[in-house]
Amino acid sequence: MAAARPILGRVLPGSSILFLCDMQEKFRHNIAYFPQIVSVAARMLRVARLLEVPVLLTEQYPQGLGPTVPELGAEGLQPLTKTCFSMVPALQQELDSRPQLRSVLLCGIEAQACILDPCSYPGLALTSLYPQNTTLDLLDRGLQVHVVVDACSSRSQVDRLVALARMRQSGAFLSTSEGLILQLVGDAAHPQFKEIQKLIKEPAPDSGLLGLFQGQNPLLH
C-alpha cells in the first residue's frame, strides 16, 4: 500500500484567507510584545490587500474590551463581534461562501485560552479568547491553518509556547510572517513584488520568539 502523501502546507492567494483575531485596546498593556505583534499583523494585512487575499477581523466583546487598535490599519474592514471562544462561529457564513478556501493564516491574541479578570474591565463578565480553539475548529472543517508565530502572543510566554506546541500537535503549521508572504507572492516577477519587497525589507520586530525556540525545547519537537 502506498504511503499517504504528506500535507505540504502550500499557500496560494486564490485559496487563502487572513484572520485577524481580537487586537483590541484593552489588551494593549497586558499582552507580551503587543506593539510588535500588531506591527507584524499590520504587515500581513497590507500584503493581503496587495495580493487580493480576503481578510476577516473579529472583536471580542468590544463594549468592554474596546475597538481594534488603529495601528493595525484595519480601516475599511467591518469587524465581526463575538463572545464565543472561537472565531469560527462568527465567521461561519463567510467560510461557507468560499468553497475554494484551503488555507487560513491566523494572527492575533491570545494564543491560548485566557480568563480575563472582570475587575479590570468594568461590566465585563468572565471572557475567554481562543485562537487555539479557532485553529481546532478550522482543522475540523478540513482547512489548513498557518499560525503566524510572530503575530500571535499571550500575557504569559509559557502559555504562548504551550499553545503553539498544542496547535502544531493538532496539525497546524507554524510559520513566520515573511515565510508566508514569500509563499503568497511566489515569484519575483509578480506585479506586486516590488511593493511587497518594501514591506519586508526590514526584518519583522523581535517578539520574543528566539527565547521560545532556542535549545532543545521538547514542546516544539
Active site residues: 22, 82, 114
Cα separation, 37 vs 53, in Å, equals: 20
CA angle, 172 then 201 then 75, to 5°: 70
Give CA–CA dist 73/54, Å, rounded: 15
Cβ-contact 102, 15 below 8 angstroms = yes
Q: How far apart are CA 88 and CA 86, in angstroms?
A: 5
- Pair 186, 47: CB distance under 8 Å: no
Distances (CA, A) of 214 to 34, 107, 207, 209, 221: 21, 22, 14, 8, 12
What's at 81, amino acid-wise? T
Q: Find how far residue 147's CA is from the centre of its chain.
A: 6
CA distance 213 to 50: 31
Q: State the Cα–Cα distance between residues 208 and 193, nearest whole angstrom.
A: 28
Q: What are phi and psi of 28, to 5 degrees?
A: -55, -40
